[in-house]
Amino acid sequence: MIDTHCHIDLHDRPLDAISKFTSRQMECVSVTMLPSHYKLSLPHLEAYDNIHASLGLHPLRAREGKRELAQFIQLAKAAEYIGEIGLDFSRDGKSTRALQEEMFAEVLPSLKGGKFVSVHSRESAKKLLEMLSEARVAPVCFHYFTGAPSLAQEVIQAGHYMSFNLRMLTGRHKSLLSQVPAERVLIESDAPFLTESPHLAVANAYSTVAKHWGITLPEAEGLISRNFLRCRTARDITC
């Protein structure tokens, strides 16, 4: 099983979270908010083959992130995992909308070349998709997507993937799973924001999608593992 979006560094006890993933032979993409956070996490995660450090530049940290933009671009040359990055046009992010768009445009060229990229798109998926397409960056993973069904179809038609957390699968967004092809589905915990036990949330999410698809849990694990391997940006594509 694979958790494609977990903030391990924000857990009260990060090593406990890692231990639980490791003991259950689960993989995890450990997303970060800023390049400086990514650099701090690297020495702690390098001993774990199943935990993937991910270089972040969160849109809600845009003012701080502006000071670390050059560092992001430099670190992205070697980083295999990118996230959490993106845009946020909600009430929390609207004051920095112009800055977010400016910074995202600058990092887009750094996303190509076979990287796994997890993007934040709260109330901004249309613009995010437009910018990705213009820069010919795909596929990426839309984390915790909450846009309209018609917009979800645009995301899928552009070649991207979506990661579902347990809240999405059991709450008001659960119908979205029926609109996304199984071969474009990934699983996330978004811990610790949604849960303090990401390993359990991910296991429950896998069971939920397996039941929805009418297949066994091992079959769902294999399908999602293949999706994870395919969700890597191309060097240069036409979206």
Task: Please report, rounded to a whole number, the percentage of residues in the chain having pLDDT higher than 90.
Answer: 94
Please, what are the domains in the chain? 2-230 (3.20.20.140)
pTM, full prediction = 0.94
| Rg of the chain over all Cα atoms, to the nearest angstrom | 16
DSSP reduced 3-state for 235? coil
Beta bridge partners of 53: 30
The chain-wide mean pLDDT, for the chain, equals 95
Amino acid of residue 178: S
Give 125's contacts (C-beta < 8 A, 6+ positions apart): 142, 145, 147, 151, 155
pLDDT in tens, 212-224: 999 999 999 999 9
**Cα 206 from Cα 131, distance rounded (Å):** 31
**Contact indicator for 124, 86 with CB cutoff of 8 Å:** yes
pLDDT in tens, 96-149: 999 999 999 999 999 999 999 999 999 999 999 999 999 999 999 999 999 999
Answer whether residue 239 shows pLDDT above 60: no
